[in-house]
Amino acid sequence: MLEIKNLHANINGKEILKGLDLVVRPGEIHAIMGPNGAGKSTLASVLTGNQTFEVTKGEVTFYGKNLLELTPEDRSREGIFLSFQYPVEIPGVSMVNFMRTALNEHRKYKNMEPLSATDFLRIMREKKTLVEMDNKLANRSVNEGFSGGEKKRNEIFQMAMLEPRLAILDETDSGLDIDALRIVANGVNKLKRPDNASIVITHYQRLLEYIVPDFVHVLYDGRIVKTGGKELALELEDKGYDWIKKEVEENI
C-alpha cells in the first residue's frame, strides 16, 4: 500500500532524510526504532504532508497515488493517520465538535452523508470504550490540559474513530503507565485488520511485546540501515545502537 523510494527531506536547508526506502503491505506491522534525532518523526511528518519539511528527492506512493501531491487533509481522508509524538492542544474546541467535523470530512470524501448526531455519539461511545477513555476527557477541549498519557490515549481514540488504512504511531508508548500501555496496545490490536497496516515508532521493545511487529527497522542518520524480525528489537534493547553505527560506518 505504501512505497517509499529514495526519500530525501530538508528542514531549513538541513537534510534530515537522506535516501529512505520502505515498503508496507496491507496487514503488516512495521516497527521503526533508532537513536534520538535520527529522523523518525521527520518521516512521519513528511508522510502526512507537514509543510515545514521540504521533500527534495524521492517518491512516495499510497495505493498507487502520488502521496506527495496530496494536501495533508486529503492524505488523512485517504486513510493515513498519525498519532503525534507531541499532540497539540486546541483550546476552546470540544473533542466532540472536533471529531464530528473530522469524521464527516472523511465521509464527504467518500461521498457519504454526514452522520446524524445520534449515530455519531453512538460511535463515539463505542470507541471510547475500546480505548477505555474517560468520559470527562471526551467532553473537554482537544488535548487542553490533558496529561501526557491522556493525550496519547486520545490519539488512539481518534485513530479508532477514523479507522485509518495506515496508522503511524510516533512514540505513542512514551509517557504511558503500564496499564495505559496495555490498553493502548489492545486498542491498536483490536483495530488491526487484514487490509490495514501500522508503522510503530518506538524506543522500547516493551511495546512490541504487546503489538507484535512483522518487521523491525533501524532508522539512523536519515536512512533505514537495518531490517529484521521482532528479535532485532530485543537485540537493540540489549546492545544499544553503537554496533549499528559501526556497521554503517564500515559499509561506507
Ligand X SMILES: Nc1ncnc2c1ncn2[C@@H]1O[C@H](COP(=O)(O)OP(=O)(O)OP(=O)(O)O)[C@@H](O)[C@H]1O
Residues lying near Mg ion in the complex (CB under 5 A):
40-41, 85
Residue 82 makes contact with other proteins by CB under 8 A:
yes
Q: CB under 5 to 8 A by kind: which of ligand X, other proteins, Mg ion, none does 76 bind?
A: other proteins
Residue 53 makes contact with other proteins by CB under 8 A:
no
Instruction: Give 191 or 199: the residue with its C-beta nearer to ligand X.
Output: 199
User: Which residues lie closer than 8 Å to 6 by C-beta, 6 or more apart?
Assistant: 19, 20, 21, 57, 58, 59
Q: CB of 230: closest distance to Mg ion in angstroms?
A: 21
Residue 116 makes contact with ligand X by CB under 6 A:
no
**Mapping DSSP to helix (H, G, I), strand (E, B) and coil, where does residue 44 land?**
helix
Find the part of the chain contacting ligand X (CB under 6 A) among 37-45, 63-71, 127-135, 184-192: 37-45
By CB under 8 A, what part of segment 153-212 binds other proteins? 158, 162
Amino acid at 134: D
Phi, psi of 223 (to 5 degrees): -140, 155
Is the separation of the CB atoms in 71 and 197 below 8 Å? no
Which of 45, 12, 86, 72 lies closest to 168 in space, CA to CA?
Answer: 45
Q: CB under 5 to 8 A by kind: which of ligand X, other proteins, Mg ion, none does 226 bind?
A: none
Reading the block at residue 76, the C-alpha cell is 488523512
Reading the block at residue 156, the C-alpha cell is 488512539
Q: CB under 5 to 8 A by kind: which of Mg ion, other proteins, ligand X, none does 126 bind?
A: none
In angstroms, rounded to a whole number, what is the distance separating the alpha carbons of residues 104 and 114?
5
CB-side neighbour CA atoms (13 Å) of 39: 25
Instruction: Give 8 or 140: the residue with its C-beta nearer to other proteins.
Output: 140
Residue 73 makes contact with other proteins by CB under 8 A:
yes
Binding site for ligand X (CB under 6 A): 11-12, 16, 34, 36-42, 52, 85
